[in-house]
């Protein structure tokens, strides 16, 4: 009897110890701070805040599975499209890009790797650096390496001409304030994952809100707004050539400009300083404080900036400055009406002319959803429409090396006006801006030549046009339309 009483007493004494152990095990990592994520309208909303190390850790921890998935996409594309192993890109990130990064962004990238590790992931720092530098490594650095090594350059290893955008102000818009719009073009394998809404409150610099990819510290298709009132987007300069291994990686400069620039002039200064030529873009920048808009063509050799308070700029991968065309995009022919860049540029100008003085976010959505082909002079959802559907094209886009029926095109749409920018809000649609779905199974059945993409390419179903706001806490937000 006494033995039974003693055992019962020992059992009761043990209960608090077990509870205490459970409390310790359940205690969250302090680095997670007030970070969180949720899903809405096809988007994954992620809130990050704190020091670079904390922001990075939160990013890696909250999006660990998504980052692992994203690394697989780039690994598969690297071998099949760029004819290089993933290790090549890891080493290029480590040896070419990493030494040029500011300590602040090195700390954030290390933080992402630490967050991944805490979730049991095998993805490491050099994987993270490689996916951040993918755009500049594949289309700018790799062609230079291949030329030096005397190797043929794969068709995909060049700066493409993708994305459709505009920015307008003054007499061009319905209320005289700024309206901005952008559709991201990419492979559908990348694009189905390019639907993260990052709400970032850094310990230093400005609060910013942008779309992006898992594991990347910058938007990389570049649509966002910061608390100083800058409204930012871009489209790629077509056929851009040149890469400076001693320059600062583009992914740092675009992130730094989003985080620290409070004026158009400051934005241009950050993007120009240490320009390595990687991921050369035509930048559209608006300042809601002054109602000014700007167009920055950021080639490697020439970086002209135009600023105005009335009118618009369109951008559909069409080099405009003669010096940029001559020295930075020498493979671009502005007189070829059949190419997607020129056809979309012509359609963009026609749309602006038709709706001048009435432009608002509703018309911005219509712009991104537009399917008119100026070359064929008919409505055709294809490679030349502002809302791109390259998988329908039987000729592909030879200018940038896309084969016929390439599963690529417009993968998201985002629009914003000055009033929304003041609240750090934009309207986004995940998937084709027009609302059409891409379905993988019938595509692979019709086009078995793309079977290598089966591990990474899935259905890309369009969500609704959805309001996304910095500081949002609840996923149950009504879609815009």
pLDDT, tens digit, 9 for 90 and up, residues 284-322? 999 999 999 999 999 999 999 999 999 999 999 999 999
Phi and psi torsions of 297, nearest 5°: -90, 110
> How much is the pLDDT for 4?
42
Q: Assign 82 to helix, strand or coil.
A: coil
The answer to whether residue 350 is domain-embedded is: yes
Can you give the residue range of the structural domain that contains 301? 158-469
Whether 16 shows a pLDDT value over 70: the answer reads no
Q: Which two tokens stand for residue 108?
A: 């954030």
Whether 324 shows a pLDDT value over 80: the answer reads yes
Kindly report the CATH number assigned to the domain that includes residue 276. Answer: 3.60.60.20
> How much is the pLDDT for 26?
54
> pLDDT-derived band of residue 22, with 50, 70 and 90 as boundaries?
very low
Phi and psi torsions of 348, nearest 5°: -60, -45
> pLDDT-derived band of residue 398, with 50, 70 and 90 as boundaries?
confident
pLDDT digit string, tens, across residues 348-390: 999 999 999 999 999 999 999 999 999 999 999 999 999 999 9
pLDDT digit string, tens, across residues 413-422: 999 999 999 9
CB of 206 closer than 8 Å to CB of 227: yes
> How much is the pLDDT for 38?
97
Tell me the whole-structure pTM to 2 decimals: 0.92
CB of 199 closer than 8 Å to CB of 345: no
Average pLDDT of the chain to the nearest whole number: 93
Q: How many domains does the chain have?
A: 1
The answer to whether residue 43 is domain-embedded is: no
The two beta strands, 43-50 and 196-202, are: parallel
CB of 20 closer than 8 Å to CB of 409: no
Whether 24 shows a pLDDT value over 70: the answer reads no
> pLDDT-derived band of residue 129, with 50, 70 and 90 as boundaries?
very high
The answer to whether residue 399 is domain-embedded is: yes
Q: For the sheet containing 164-169, what is the strand order?
A: 311-315, 164-169, 179-187, 408-417, 425-430, 466-469
Whether 12 shows a pLDDT value over 50: the answer reads no
Angstrom distance (rounded) from CA 410 to CA 432 = 6
The answer to whether residue 481 is domain-embedded is: no
Question: Which phi-psi region, left, alpha or beta, contains residue 205 (left: φ > 0; alpha: ψ -120 to 50)?
Answer: left
The answer to whether residue 245 is domain-embedded is: yes
> How much is the pLDDT for 331?
87
> How much is the pLDDT for 346?
97
DSSP 119: T
Whether 160 shows a pLDDT value over 90: the answer reads no
The answer to whether residue 212 is domain-embedded is: yes
The answer to whether residue 463 is domain-embedded is: yes
Angle at 231 between CA 229 and CA 237, to 5 degrees: 150
Percent of the chain with pLDDT over 90: 90
Angstrom distance (rounded) from CA 306 to CA 107 = 35
Task: Check residues 142 and 159 and name the one with the higher pLDDT.
Answer: 142
DSSP 402: B
The kind and range of the H/E element at 252 are helix 250-260
Angstrom distance (rounded) from CA 248 to CA 83 = 25
Q: Assign 397 to helix, strand or coil.
A: strand
The answer to whether residue 232 is domain-embedded is: yes
| Nearest residue to 73 via CA among 235, 220, 193 | 193
DSSP 450: G
Whether 479 shows a pLDDT value over 80: the answer reads no
């Amino acid at each position: 009897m006494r033995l039974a009483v003693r055992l019962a007493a020992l059992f009761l004494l043990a209960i608090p110890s077990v509870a205490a152990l459970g409390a310790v095990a359940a205690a969250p990592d302090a680095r997670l701070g007030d970070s969180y994520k949720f899903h809405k309208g096809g988007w994954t909303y992620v809130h990050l805040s704190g020091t670079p190390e904390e922001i990075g850790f939160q990013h890696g921890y909250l999006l660990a599975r998504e980052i692992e998935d994203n690394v697989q996409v780039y690994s598969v594309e690297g071998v099949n499209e760029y004819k290089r192993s993933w290790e090549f890109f890891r080493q290029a990130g480590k040896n070419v890009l990493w030494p040029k990064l500011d300590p602040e962004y090195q700390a954030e990238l290390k933080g992402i790797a630490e967050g991944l590790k805490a979730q049991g992931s095998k993805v490491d720092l050099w994987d993270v650096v490689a996916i951040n530098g993918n755009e500049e490594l594949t289309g700018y650095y790799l062609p230079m390496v291949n030329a030096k090594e005397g190797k043929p350059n794969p068709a995909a290893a060049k700066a493409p001409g993708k994305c459709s955008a505009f920015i307008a102000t003054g007499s061009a818009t319905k209320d005289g304030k700024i309206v901005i719009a952008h559709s991201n073009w990419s492979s559908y394998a990348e694009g189905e994952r390019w639907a993260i809404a990052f709400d970032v409150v850094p310990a230093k610099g400005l609060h910013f809100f942008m779309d992006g990819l898992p594991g990347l510290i910058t938007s990389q298709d570049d649509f966002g707004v910061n608390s100083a009132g800058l409204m930012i987007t871009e489209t790629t300069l077509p056929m851009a050539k040149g890469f400076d291994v001693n320059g600062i990686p583009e992914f740092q400069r675009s992130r730094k400009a989003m985080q620290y620039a409070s004026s158009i002039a400051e934005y241009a200064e950050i993007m120009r300083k240490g320009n390595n030529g990687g991921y050369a873009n035509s930048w559209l920048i608006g300042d809601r404080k002054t109602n000014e808009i700007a167009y920055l063509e950021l080639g490697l050799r020439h970086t002209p900036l135009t600023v105005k308070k009335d009118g618009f700029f369109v951008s559909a991968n069409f080099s405009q400055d003669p010096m940029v065309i001559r020295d930075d995009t020498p493979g671009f022919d502005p007189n070829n009406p059949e190419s997607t860049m020129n056809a979309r540029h012509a359609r963009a100008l026609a749309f602006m002319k038709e709706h001048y003085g009435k432009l608002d976010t509703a018309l911005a959505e219509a712009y991104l959803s537009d399917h008119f082909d100026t070359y064929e002079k008919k409505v055709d959802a294809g490679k030349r429409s502002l809302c791109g559907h390259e998988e329908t094209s039987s000729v592909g886009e030879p200018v940038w090396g896309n084969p016929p029926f390439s599963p690529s095109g417009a993968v998201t749409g985002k629009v914003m006006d000055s009033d929304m920018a003041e609240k750090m809000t934009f309207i986004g649609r995940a998937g084709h801006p027009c609302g059409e779905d891409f379905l993988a199974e019938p595509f692979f059945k019709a086009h078995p030549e793309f079977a290598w993409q089966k591990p990474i390419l899935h259905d890309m179903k369009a969500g609704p046009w959805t309001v996304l706001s910095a500081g949002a806490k609840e996923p149950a937000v009504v879609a815009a339309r």
